[in-house]
Amino acid sequence: MTLEIHGLSRRFGGLKAVNDVTTTIADKSIHSIIGPNGAGKTTLFNLITGALAPDEGKVAFNGNDITGWTPERLAHAGIARTFQRTSIFKELPVIENVALAVRSRRGLNRSMFCSMAQEKAIREESREILARVGLNGKENIRAGSLAHGFQRALDIAIGLALEPKIMLMDEPLAGMSRGDRETVATLITRLREELGVAIVVVEHDVGMVMRLSDRITVMQHGKVIAEGPPSVIREDEAVKNAYLHGNFAA
Amino acid sequence: MTSSIAMQSKPSSVEMKQSRTPYLAAFILLAIVGATLPLWVTGNPFLLMLASHAVIAAIVALSLDLLTGNTGLLSFGHAAWYGFGAYLAGLLSKNFSAEMVLIIPLTIVAACLVAAVVGAILVRQIGKTFAILTLALSQIFYALVFVLSDQTGGEDGLQGIPMATLFGNTVASSQAWYWLLYGVLIISLGGALYLRTTPLGRAWLAIRENTERASFIGVNTGALKLIAYVFSAGLASLAGALFVLFNGAVSPDVLHWFESGKILMYVVLGGVGTIVGPVFGAALFTFLEHYVSSYTDAWLIYFGGLFVLIVIVAPGGLFGIGRSIYARFKTGKGQTT
């Protein structure tokens, strides 16, 4: 499994939000994309996940050109994402949030029949996924009434239910308490270790990124200014200049 | 493998009530009152006719809830499909056959086909755009009645529709009509409740809740919205077909935006997305409309006020009120002994 991004560009009016970005996400790696505000991280993310179409360049997944695929097609191909602002089905029970994704993966979205046994298997699987992210015992709570940290975990659980090969997380630690950040960070490492999911993270918390990542891509003004393992990025002059305020200590 | 990681947040204790009791209770009450109605209004044929109209209204309300309640798409022009069914079935029975078993399925199939084509464009739109386009569609259908007035009778309406037959037997008695309409309502209601439990029905709710997330878990939101739209149009056209055969005539009023507004009010009054609620909403509205309008010409003012009140005070509609009363009753009984 590799995700190859080649010469990807996207313009908004006169602004090149993403300018000729090339990088490769390796199998089972945790790959972070960082950069100052407005560097084009989220745009790049949206280009990969099908929320936006690129002007130039291509994205290939396992050698298949997936450029411009719709989100639902990408989901079935094994590319899942989570959202910067937690995106769940708030009015539905926690377990149903995950069950929806399980059914979708099983190709049941248009099914007008589902046997009791099949539905039971779906619920059982959903329960296991919830346990994996620490939501066991909360299956029947309305998703919107979960605490913030749990909602983020549920967002990740929904993504996991798709059995993705790669999971893209848009600022998974944003707006969380210190304790919750640690928990989500631990969850991310475990997912990679236990499930072998490659994880792409767009993140502001540079300290956490340095600890978690196998590889880091640093963007500024839509371009990649540095790429490498954390030890290399830490010493990179261009990166130090990009982060003038010195909040770059790990 | 299954490692659980405890979050450092307080556990939430708001358990989701998944009780089906209120649904079941409402359903049984409706079934019993409805099914036995002809037996206790024997002395009052007018009341039975009014009840028949209420049942037809309930089917239309159900059809709109299939769309709006399931996917969140708000239609301001649902009368388009009701009127489409009424006019097409009326024309078929005049020019082709009075056999319901033939013309009703034909009408539904035609409505579904047209709805699939129109809907393919409509469901790409969201929110206000969708609502305005549905309104425009119903106005186009309305205008078509006048354009094709040599066929449709234009302003005078479509008259002289022959007595409908069911498997060759003329359906004439008002009791028979009532039970027929009521049977269709119960089957449609059962179907809508069943759909809610299927993967399709649950995926619809996902679209209503969070369309963006739904597409990112692999739900083809456009296709599923279109399915809902076609089902909804098909059921509305069935209601229209039953109306014209029962009533013996149809006027362009059934396609007027006011009719669309009424259908929407049935659903809001009963409770959007509750399936059973809109059925009650439609029945209540039909009876109130008759009795209030016989007292005062300004009945619409009172209905407008009621509508505003419902939207502000009880956005869950009648069904929402019923459910909260039930919940209070239940907890009250649990605490005080």
Determine the average pLDDT of the residues in A219-227. Answer: 90
Q: Are A104 and A75 in contact (CB under 8 A)?
A: yes
More confident residue, B14 or A206: A206
pLDDT tens profile B126-137: 778 999 999 999
Res B7 pLDDT > 70:
no
pLDDT tens profile B295-309: 888 888 888 888 888
What ipTM was estimated for this complex? 0.88
Determine the average pLDDT of the residues in A16-43. Answer: 90
Interface test with B, best of A79, A103, A178, A180 (most B CBs within 10 A): A103
Res A207 pLDDT > 70:
yes
Interface test with A, best of B2, B217, B221, B225 (most A CBs within 10 A): B217
How far apart are alpha carbons B235 and B111 in whole angstroms?
9
Q: Listing from the earlier edge strand, what are the strands of the sheet with A3-12? A: A15-25, A3-12, A56-61, A64-65
Q: How many angstroms from the chain centroid is the CA of residue A176?
A: 16
Determine the average pLDDT of the residues in A85-95. Answer: 93
Is B273 within a domain?
no
Is B126 within a domain?
yes
Q: Are A44 and A18 in contact (CB under 8 A)?
A: yes
pLDDT confidence of B283, banded at 50, 70, 90? very high
Is B315 within a domain?
no
pLDDT confidence of A239, banded at 50, 70, 90? confident
Enumerate residues 44 to 103 of chain A having a beta carbon within 8 A of any beta carbon in chain B.
49, 70-73, 75-76, 80-81, 83, 87-93, 96, 99-101, 103
User: How high is the mean pLDDT of chain B?
Assistant: 88
Res B6 pLDDT > 70:
no
pLDDT confidence of A29, banded at 50, 70, 90? very high
Res A94 pLDDT > 80:
yes
Give residue B31's identity as a one-letter amino acid code. A
Interface test with A, best of B213, B224, B226, B274 (most A CBs within 10 A): B213
Which residues in chain A touch residue B214, judged by CB atoms under 8 angstroms apart? 100
Is B159 within a domain?
yes
Residues contacting B290, CB < 8 A, separation 6+: B50
Residues contacting A86, CB < 8 A, separation 6+: A148, A151, A152, A154, A155
Four-CA torsion A75, B202, B209, B22, nearest 10 degrees: -160
How far apart are alpha carbons A62 and B68 in whole angstroms?
40
Res A247 pLDDT > 80:
no
Q: Which domain holds residue B216?
A: 45-253
Output phi, psi for A198, to 5 deg.
-75, 140
Q: Are A10 and A55 in contact (CB under 8 A)?
A: yes
How far apart are alpha carbons B314 and B238 in whole angstroms?
30
Q: Which of B56, B58, B50 is nearest to B281 (CA)?
A: B58
How far apart are alpha carbons B266 and B284 in whole angstroms?
8
Residue B20 confidence (pLDDT): 66
Which residues in chain B touch residue A142, judged by CB atoms under 8 angstroms apart? 14, 16
Q: Where on the phi/psi map is residue A107: left (φ > 0), alpha (ψ -120 to 50), or beta?
A: left
How far apart are alpha carbons A149 and A166 in whole angstroms?
22
DSSP of chain A = --EEEEEEEEEETTEEEEEEEEEEEPTT-EEEEE-STTSSHHHHHHHHTTSS--SEEEEEETTEE-TT--HHHHHHHTEEEE-SS----TTSBHHHHHHHHHHHHTT-TT-S---HHHHHHHHHHHHHHHHHTT-TT-TTBBGGGS-HHHHHHHHHHHHHTT--SEEEEESTTTT--HHHHHHHHHHHHHHHHHH--EEEEE-S-HHHHHHH-SEEEEEETTEEEEEE-HHHHHH-HHHHHHSTT-TT--
Most confident of A9-13, A67-71, B20-24, B56-60: B56-60
Is B234 within a domain?
yes
Residue A37 confidence (pLDDT): 81
Residue B117 confidence (pLDDT): 97
Determine the average pLDDT of the residues in A106-134. Answer: 93
How far apart are alpha carbons A70 and A87 in whole angstroms?
18
Which residues in chain B touch residue A148, judged by CB atoms under 8 angstroms apart? 9
More confident residue, B23 or B123: B123
Residue B5 confidence (pLDDT): 41
Is B232 within a domain?
yes
- What is the set of domains in chain A, with CATH numbers? 1-75+165-173+196-250 (3.40.50.300), 79-163 (3.40.50.300)
How far apart are alpha carbons A9 and A57 in whole angstroms?
6
User: How high is the mean pLDDT of chain A?
Assistant: 89
Determine the average pLDDT of the residues in A125-151. Answer: 93
Whether A93 and B223 lie within 8 Å, measured CB to CB: no
Determine the average pLDDT of the residues in B175-196. Answer: 94
Determine the average pLDDT of the residues in B212-218. Answer: 94
pLDDT confidence of A244, banded at 50, 70, 90? low
Listed range (B11-15, B52-56, B146-150) with the worst mean pLDDT: B11-15
Residue B307 confidence (pLDDT): 85
Q: Where on the phi/psi map is residue A35: left (φ > 0), alpha (ψ -120 to 50), or beta?
A: left
What is the b/e burial string over B131-165, where b = at least 16 CB atoms within 10 angstroms of the residue's CB? bebbbebbbebbebbeeeeeebbeeebbeebeebb
Is B168 within a domain?
yes
pLDDT confidence of B332, banded at 50, 70, 90? low
More confident residue, B41 or B10: B41
Is B32 within a domain?
no
Residue B19 confidence (pLDDT): 59
Q: Are A176 and B47 in contact (CB under 8 A)?
A: no
Check if A189 contacts B (Cβ < 8 Å): no
Residue B91 confidence (pLDDT): 95
Determine the average pLDDT of the residues in B222-243. Answer: 97
How far apart are alpha carbons B47 and B174 in whole angstroms?
11
pLDDT confidence of B335, banded at 50, 70, 90? very low
- A162: nearest CA partner in chain B: B217
B294's tokens: 């016989």
Residue B243 confidence (pLDDT): 97
Enumerate residues 49 to 68 of chain B having a beta carbon within 8 A of any beta carbon in chain A.
none
Determine the average pLDDT of the residues in A76-86. Answer: 89
Res B333 pLDDT > 70:
no
Determine the average pLDDT of the residues in B234-256. Answer: 96
pLDDT confidence of A180, banded at 50, 70, 90? confident
pLDDT confidence of B81, banded at 50, 70, 90? very high
B171-175: Cβ within 8 A, 24+ apart: B171/B100, B174/B38, B174/B45, B174/B48, B174/B49, B174/B52, B175/B38, B175/B48
How far apart are alpha carbons A247 and A176 in whole angstroms?
18
Q: Structural domain tally of chain B?
A: 1
B316's tokens: 């869950």
**pLDDT above 70 as % of chain A:** 97
Residue A204 confidence (pLDDT): 80
Whether A113 and B210 lie within 8 Å, measured CB to CB: no
**pLDDT above 90 as % of chain A:** 56
More confident residue, A42 or B7: A42
pLDDT confidence of B336, banded at 50, 70, 90? very low
What is each CA distance from B221 to A51, A95, B120, in whole angstroms? 14, 21, 12
Enumerate residues 210 to 239 of chain A having a beta carbon within 8 A of any beta carbon in chain B.
none
Output phi, psi for B148, to 5 deg.
-100, 40
Determine the average pLDDT of the residues in B218-239. Answer: 97
